[in-house]
Amino acid sequence: MGGEPTEESARGCETAGLHEARWWRPIDRGRVLCYLCPRLCEIGRGKAGFCFIRQNREGKLYSAGYGRSTGFAADPIEKKPLNHFLPGTSVLSFGTAGCNLGCKFCQNWNISKARLDDRSSEVAMPEKVVELAEATGAAGIAYTYNDPVIWAEYAIDIARVARAAGLKNVMVTAGYVTPEARPEVFEYVDAANVDLKAFTEGFYREFTLSHLDPVLDTLVWLRETGVWIEITTLLIPGLNDSAEEIEHECGWIVEHLGPHVPLHFTAFHPAFKMLDRPPTPAATLKMAREIAHRSGIRFCYLGNVHDREAQATACPSCGEVLVRRDWHAIQHYALVGNRCPRCDTEIPGVFHAGAHRGEERRTDGGRYRVRLT
């Protein structure tokens, strides 16, 4: 079951800080079973799981990514992308190394396929990460770049400290995590962008080396827990961009998650092992957005392209533009709390003032505005 751990992957862990892992049990002959993600790697002594950073040392499982970051950046939250969670704020973003999926089109492959000794990682214990976020004036911390599920022990410890300090926790994930681990992995998470990579099992199996159903289960579970979720689907020409597949995806979202979960379709750019495909045409993105709206999805956005109309948030009742964006910068902000100022429709998301840190805010007749940058 799952990925074959290799000697090469084990070597990748040797220089990183080891921290005893959760979500594992011994099986036989010193081997361990990791049940953090549905890959369920069975890992022999001295070897690592598919994700590279979970390693069996002397019959115990360790997380080699603990306390090691591959670099920090203060990003606009729109870059995650999250358009309905504290728009206009920044989040301290970072990741580690490795990944539990094997996407051939990976857009972050220099991180996700790296071993920790390949990269200049820096030691950053949880309290230090939170201090750094506060020093940058960020509203929260984004666990991103590579999938935080595989370094959940580290992410949870940071998120706990961050919440106590009044910061928000944002996770960018493929949602490939077991039901056993989910409650702890997301315990302190306020918002998540979940990458729904396609809507066929065939695509998941062939191009990501994983499976679709566990991701759908995670989405349904997140929706029930109250974590704010938005979904991203990267449209790859000829592989997951047919009108039929997009209709299925949108129909499933409306039926199982509701029409108010924002959906982002983003443009593919040739990368990693998928250099033989062209970038996603603008017409495909527009088609996908039209299908989403026809299916009942209220908020559909296009990313990785310059399209101000498709990046704006409009009131689904009266059409008033509530947030206008230019790439990730906010140019116009008209929400009054969570409501449309024109027709008073409630807009789903987390928009309240008070969690908006690090930027000047002006109260103007009950309305708050994000300073334009």
Cα angle value 116/73/70 (rounded, 5°): 5
* Token pair belonging to 365: 């007749």
Please state the closest distance from residue 150 (CB atom) to ligand SF4, in A.
Answer: 5
| Shorter beta-carbon distance to ligand SF4: residue 51 or 192 | 51
Whether 101 and 209 have beta carbons less than 8 Å apart is answered as yes
Residue 263 vs residues 18, 143, 259, 260: alpha-carbon distances, Å: 37, 20, 10, 9
Residues near 177 by Cβ (< 8 Å), separated by ≥ 6? 36, 37, 38, 149, 152, 185, 214, 218
Please state the closest distance from residue 33 (CB atom) to ligand SF4, in A.
Answer: 8
Other beta carbons within 10 Å of 299: 21
Q: State the residues that interact with ligand SF4 by CB under 6 A.
A: 2-3, 34, 36-37, 39-41, 49-51, 54, 100, 150
| Shorter beta-carbon distance to ligand SF4: residue 13 or 77 | 13
Please state the closest distance from residue 50 (CB atom) to ligand SF4, in A.
Answer: 4
Please state the closest distance from residue 46 (CB atom) to ligand SF4, in A.
Answer: 14
Whether 134 and 167 have beta carbons less than 8 Å apart is answered as yes
| Shorter beta-carbon distance to ligand SF4: residue 221 or 327 | 221
Please state the closest distance from residue 313 (CB atom) to ligand SF4, in A.
Answer: 35
| Residue 25 burial (C-beta neighbours within 10 Å; 0-12, 13-18, 19+) | exposed
Please state the closest distance from residue 118 (CB atom) to ligand SF4, in A.
Answer: 18
Amino acid code (one letter) for 25: R
329-333 and 32-34 strand pairing: unpaired
Please state the closest distance from residue 5 (CB atom) to ligand SF4, in A.
Answer: 8
Of the candidates 31, 32, 30, 12, the residue with the CA atom closest to the CA atom of residue 22: 32
Please state the closest distance from residue 163 (CB atom) to ligand SF4, in A.
Answer: 24
Phi and psi at residue 217, in whole multiples of 5°?
-60, -40
- DSSP bridge pairs for 161: none
- DSSP bridge pairs for 282: none
Please state the closest distance from residue 39 (CB atom) to ligand SF4, in A.
Answer: 4
| Shorter beta-carbon distance to ligand SF4: residue 116 or 291 | 116
Q: Give the C-alpha separation, 287 to 308, whole Å.
A: 16
| Shorter beta-carbon distance to ligand SF4: residue 52 or 368 | 52
Whether 167 and 141 have beta carbons less than 8 Å apart is answered as yes
| Shorter beta-carbon distance to ligand SF4: residue 36 or 246 | 36
Closest residue to ligand SF4, based on beta-carbon distance: 49
Q: Give the C-alpha separation, 312 to 321, whole Å.
A: 7
Q: Give the C-alpha separation, 360 to 367, whole Å.
A: 13
Q: Give the C-alpha separation, 221 to 95, whole Å.
A: 24
| Shorter beta-carbon distance to ligand SF4: residue 2 or 262 | 2
| Shorter beta-carbon distance to ligand SF4: residue 51 or 159 | 51
| Shorter beta-carbon distance to ligand SF4: residue 146 or 233 | 146
Please state the closest distance from residue 185 (CB atom) to ligand SF4, in A.
Answer: 11
- Is the sign of the CA dihedral 173, 176, 182, 185 positive or negative? negative
| Shorter beta-carbon distance to ligand SF4: residue 144 or 280 | 144
Distance of alpha carbon 52 from the chain centroid: 20
